[in-house]
Amino acid sequence: MRALSLSLPLSLSLLAASSTAATTCAKGLYMVVARGSEEPAGTGVTGNLTSQIAAKVPGSEVVAVDYPASFDDYEDSEGDGVKAMRQLLNSYAEACPGNKIAVLGYSQGAQVATDTICGGAGDPFTSDKGMSDDVMDDVVAVAIFGDPTHVANMTYDRGTSIHNGLFNRSSSSIEVCKSYASRIVSYCDTGDIYCDAGSNSTVHHMYIQRYGDEIVDFVVSQFEKSTSSGSGSGTNATTTTAPAPTVSPTTTSGGNSTVPTRTGGPTTSSTQGSGASALTSSLMLGGLLTVLTAVSQML
């Protein structure tokens, strides 16, 4: 497969490589980040996580998806984000086959990530296919939070939400996501106005605070798993509930880095399901109004 992709015309590879800054191959993780609606250009709040991950995975590189992240022009913006993320991933995987990639996204950026990886959500959004196997062989972690196309009750869901998000996701796209379940974590809490179609705007802004450490641990452990087995891709974790190892701080000084050591132990617990129903039903009417309002604002 690699031989095939490498046999593309040289001029095409050069073109692809020169059109992005991603010409050097990161020894650690290449982290592709899509920010949320209206966050200033760059990585947005997700940069908090990628800087922590980079501190634990020496030789990592962080690149922000260059797209509008516009709220008022959501559909076009989101579509631009998917194209830009796809190009980053294709270019990097082609230039640096076998090097490890993590994809992170918040809010609109979470939808960008899901549409890019699993294929488009479908009308009114793109229905384009997800990334090729060649690229996905290198993607060791997809960590998103507050996705407006969140699908409830998937094994890769984290957080308390049991509702679908504001926008539908096509069943074909959901099937592709399921096939990558061991590499995905999608955080959504009850009440989130977008991913839970709820009525509490505060919830949408609390993921870093609530789950930042978990997300960092997940991405770091996925990287470690992929490199420790020595079997190349090594992304076929057997269960989605595998304990996320905690990682001791790495010391990095003057290019001298120690390999992170695992101390083991589950750090995540499933909080989905019981207990939330009384709260969610009381939020439902408000949630419906919010959905209608938000849809009319967005579309």
Ligand X SMILES: *[C@@H]1O[C@H](CO)[C@@H](O)[C@H](O)[C@H]1NC(C)=O
Q: Which residues contact ligand X by CB under 6 A?
A: 48, 51, 152-153, 162-164, 167-168, 191, 200, 202-203, 206, 208-209, 212, 231, 236, 238, 254-256, 273, 295
In the complex, what is the shortest distance from the CB of residue 56 to ligand X, in angstroms, rounded to a whole number?
A: 14
> Do the strands 61-64 and 139-145 form a parallel or antiparallel pair, or are they unpaired?
unpaired
In the complex, what is the shortest distance from the CB of residue 288 to ligand X, in angstroms, rounded to a whole number?
A: 12
In the complex, what is the shortest distance from the CB of residue 157 to ligand X, in angstroms, rounded to a whole number?
A: 9
SS (H, E, C) 105-168: EECHHHHHHHHHHHCCCCCCCCCCCCCCHHHHCCEEEEEEECCCCCCCCCCCEECCCCCCCCCC
> Do the strands 157-158 and 262-264 form a parallel or antiparallel pair, or are they unpaired?
unpaired
In the complex, what is the shortest distance from the CB of residue 1 to ligand X, in angstroms, rounded to a whole number?
A: 15
Cβ proximity to ligand X, 58 vs 191, nearer residue: 191
Contacts of 64 (CB under 8 A, 6+ apart): 33, 34, 35, 41, 42, 43
Helix (H/G/I), strand (E/B), else coil: 254: coil
In the complex, what is the shortest distance from the CB of residue 269 to ligand X, in angstroms, rounded to a whole number?
A: 17
Cβ proximity to ligand X, 23 vs 258, nearer residue: 258
- As given in the structure block, the two tokens for residue 196 are 């839970």
Cβ proximity to ligand X, 13 vs 272, nearer residue: 272
In the complex, what is the shortest distance from the CB of residue 91 to ligand X, in angstroms, rounded to a whole number?
A: 27
Cβ proximity to ligand X, 61 vs 196, nearer residue: 196
d(CA 147, CA 189): 11
In the complex, what is the shortest distance from the CB of residue 11 to ligand X, in angstroms, rounded to a whole number?
A: 35
Contacts of 126 (CB under 8 A, 6+ apart): 79, 82, 115, 120
Cβ proximity to ligand X, 116 vs 149, nearer residue: 149
Give the closest residue to 71 by CA, choosing from 288, 293, 297. 297
Cβ proximity to ligand X, 22 vs 82, nearer residue: 82
Strands (E), the chain: 29-34, 61-64, 100-106, 139-145, 157-158, 184-187, 246-247, 252-253, 256-257, 262-264
Cβ proximity to ligand X, 74 vs 92, nearer residue: 74
